[in-house]
Structures are given as C-alpha cells and as structure tokens.
Amino acid sequence: MKPATRHLVSIDDLSLAEIRALFEHAQAFASDLRAWSHLCPGLISASLFYEASTRTRLSFESAMLRLGGGVITAAEMKSTSASKGESLADTVRVVGGAYADVLVLRHASEGAARLASRFSPIPVINAGDGAHEHPTQTLCDLYNLWLERGRIEGINVVLAGDLRYSRTIHSFVYALARFGANIVCTPQPGFELPPYVVQRLREEFGVEPVRADASRLGELAESSDAVYLTPQKPHQLSLFTEGSKGLAVERVDALYMTRPQTERFTDGDAPITKYQQLSKRQMNAESLKDAVVMHPLPRRDEIQPDMDEDPRSIYFKQAARGVPIRMAILAFLLGRIDLKVGGKEIDTRFHEMLAGDNPCAHPSCISRTETRHVRPLFRLASRFPVRAYCGYCSQELHAPVVGCSTTRHFHDRDSAAARKIRPDHLVLFHSEAQALQHGFQPAANTANSV
C-alpha cells in the first residue's frame, strides 16, 4: 500500500524526534552541499508564491537543485490563471497532477496551505500563510539554535518587535514550547502575541504566561510590558519571583528580532512612531552579553548596521542555513531519506462542518477570502464546555450553541448533552436562531437526547 502523503502545513505536523532527525540530515547536507544531487533526480518542485519572497523561495529552489531535482516557479501570481479567477484548489490540483512532485506555497490568506493540502495529490509545504504560520522558517530557526547552543530544551529566548502579525513568531513559539524552552516576549507596544496564540500555549503545551522583570535587558525592554512564557507551574515560579517585579530574566541564550509586518497592518492599528531598535549599545545589557542575535530577514532599521560584524549576530548564517534544512525537508517529504523515528505527537484532527454557515469570522481566513471549494473546518480545543478553533486560521470560533448532525438537536455548548456529541457529528452555531434556521430543534431532554 502506498503510504499517505505527508504535508508540512504546521510545525505540529512533525514530532520532536522527526525535527531532531531533520537537523542531523541538514548537518550532513551542509558538510558538502554539492554532494547530494543523486537523491532527487527527475523530481520537480513547484513554487507557488502569491506573496513576495526572496530567501524562502530561493532557498527552496536552491535546495531542490542541489538534490538533483528541477524547479518550476510561479513567483508572480498576477501573471497566472489566478488573475483570471482560478481558485487555489483548482491551481493545486492542476500543478499536483503531472507538473510537479512537491508544492511550496506562500499565500496571503491564513489557512491557505491547509486548504491546498486537502486537494493536492503531492506534498504541500507551507512557505507562509498570512499572519498564521511559517513552519520551514521555524525549522531553520530551531536548527540554528541547535547548532549554536547545542540544545533547545531549557534555553532562554527573547522575542522582540512585532509579535502580533509575524507568522514566523507564531510557529516559533509553538515549537519552542514543545521543546521546553523559556520565552521572554518584549513586543513593540500594541503588537503583542495574539490572544489565540497565548491561549493555545497555555492549554496545549502547559506554558504559563507571567510578568517578567526585564530590568537586566536594559533599553531593549524599556518601553515594553515583558512577559515570561515558561513551562514551569505557578507554584514553581514563586520560588524565583521577587515580590511584584515578576520573573527575573537573568541570562539570555538568543534574541530574536522581527521587523514591523506593515503589509498586514489594519486600519485599527495605531501608527508606529518609534520602533524597537537593536544596536551594540542595547546588546551591552547584562543578560544579553552571551546571546546570539537572530532575525528572519528582511530587516529595516530594527537591527543597526553596527551589529553586522558583532560575533553574536548570526542572521546571515541563519539565512544560509535555510538551504540544508530545506534540503532535508524536501528529501524527507519526497521519500528520499528515512528519519527512522516516530511520527506526529500532537492531535491535529480536523472535522468538517456538516451543516450551518461558516463559523469563522476572521476576515483574512482562507475560508472567507476563497469561498469556492472551501468546506469550513474546526479542531476541538475542549469538550466541556465545547470550544473549537478554526481548522484553517486557528482563531477560536464563537459557538455558544452546538448541534448534532444525526439527532438534529441543538444544545448549549456547556451542557452535558453537548459533551456527548461525537466530534464528527458536531455542528457549531453562533445562536439558537441560526440553529433553527438550519433545521435543528431544541432537545426535549438535554441530559439524554444525544
């Protein structure tokens, strides 16, 4: 039997053991980038980039060529059939039919890669979907930490700048949490981590957000409300917290700077008059003296040129290392290397909405921006009360009323009856009126009606 097609839509699609194995392969590839052209001869990678890219697209194409494969590129989607109104689902089916063996997709809508994976007969790699996730950049970032620090478990990582719209940051914090790293957030004011990201960190990875005493970070955190995200529990944190100041940031292993993601700003975002900047002066802070400086690039003015020659700055190395880690990703998904380790450890089951309207109200979700061929998806966050996230953009869905597709009854989401509904029979409604509109009836006995 042919094995199921593996996709890389989210960092959750890989187990920690698989991530570590990819690092080992990437390190072998990096030892001689020209020695691996025998791995993928005759195979083709297709780059579908609905948004601008330099490093991600070129590093993937370089990676495929170094593996001995070929590349076809649609880097300016305005010149493709998308400009004629072709849906993403149809584009993916065509390209995956005979044109290519793996598809690398970047798209402005959150959840686009998830949608593509549902229609593609070949592996889909998410090269960035809106402000949602960027798993291959995360693998590159983790690989750099692994090389520079020798481990990821237990290290202290500071994230600075625009944490709200940076898809790189969102994938990165999930992965750091899974590895058991400690995260200190020093965001640009007004651009903190989105609530749905923090909520997921707490509920799924046991990460507790607490206030941080960032006085030892000096100027870097002077205008920021620093937050410490740590897998330690509150009773443990009390051992390290000094009064009301918060958890002290004693030593930093890595500082990850991000640019303002202005292309994703909305009308409700206040204009930035002074963005965080990093120079040698800021890096003189006590806890930063041994920290490596990372940035996903491109940068603007957030890292000053005087940092380029600082031995702590690894952002250009970081970009270069994107090639061997993407060689490992491509070779793995194309079945040319065997990681010889266990697979996924996170429950990423998604369920289709069987009735009702699309419960996701997020305007940049692919289920809103492309309505053809899109069946709304959800992933359960909890059973009591019933809470769910959109299967595309990961935003929590507003669903105070839930129905059962077999009994056609509806219930309050926090009722005992709602808890008994099988996930694949669950229907989400934003009101009783909506449930009635779609032919569902109130249960006569909410305790025994399911």
How far apart, in whole angstroms, are the C-alpha atoms of residue 36 and residue 41?
Answer: 10
Say which of 106, 164, 326, 368 is annotated catalytic: 106
Task: Count Cβ neighbours within 10 Å for each residue of 207-216 and write b for 16 or more, e otherwise.
Answer: bbbbebbbbb
Query: Could you give phi then psi for residue 46, rounded to 5 degrees?
Result: -105, 125
CB 123 within 8 A of CB 7: yes
> What SS3 class is residue 299?
coil
- Can 245 be counted among the known catalytic residues? no
Say which of 118, 134, 164, 351 is annotated catalytic: 134
> What SS3 class is residue 108?
coil
- Give the Cβ contact number of residue 152 at 10 Å: 24
How far apart, in whole angstroms, are the C-alpha atoms of residue 73 and residue 70?
Answer: 10
How far apart, in whole angstroms, are the C-alpha atoms of residue 129 and residue 127?
Answer: 7
Ranges of H-type helices in 52-161: 55-66, 88-94, 112-119, 135-149
> What SS3 class is residue 140?
helix
Say which of 84, 235, 274, 340 is annotated catalytic: 84
**What's the Cα-to-Cα distance from 401 to each of 20, 108, 125, 349, 412, rounded to whole Å?**
42, 31, 35, 21, 5
How far apart, in whole angstroms, are the C-alpha atoms of residue 200 and residue 117?
Answer: 23
How far apart, in whole angstroms, are the C-alpha atoms of residue 400 and residue 383?
Answer: 13
- Can 186 be counted among the known catalytic residues? no
- Can 66 be counted among the known catalytic residues? no
**What's the Cα-to-Cα distance from 372 to each of 15, 28, 354, rounded to whole Å?**
33, 44, 16
How far apart, in whole angstroms, are the C-alpha atoms of residue 83 and residue 77?
Answer: 7
Say which of 6, 20, 55, 299 is annotated catalytic: 55
State the amino acid at position 400 in one-letter form. Answer: P
Report residue 79 as tokens.
């010149």
Say which of 56, 91, 168, 241 is annotated catalytic: 56
Nearest Cα residue to 91 out of 137, 153, 144, 47: 47
- Can 56 be counted among the known catalytic residues? yes
Report residue 2 as tokens.
């042919």
- Can 106 be counted among the known catalytic residues? yes
How far apart, in whole angstroms, are the C-alpha atoms of residue 22 and residue 330?
Answer: 10
Q: Which residues are catalytic?
A: 55-56, 84, 106, 134
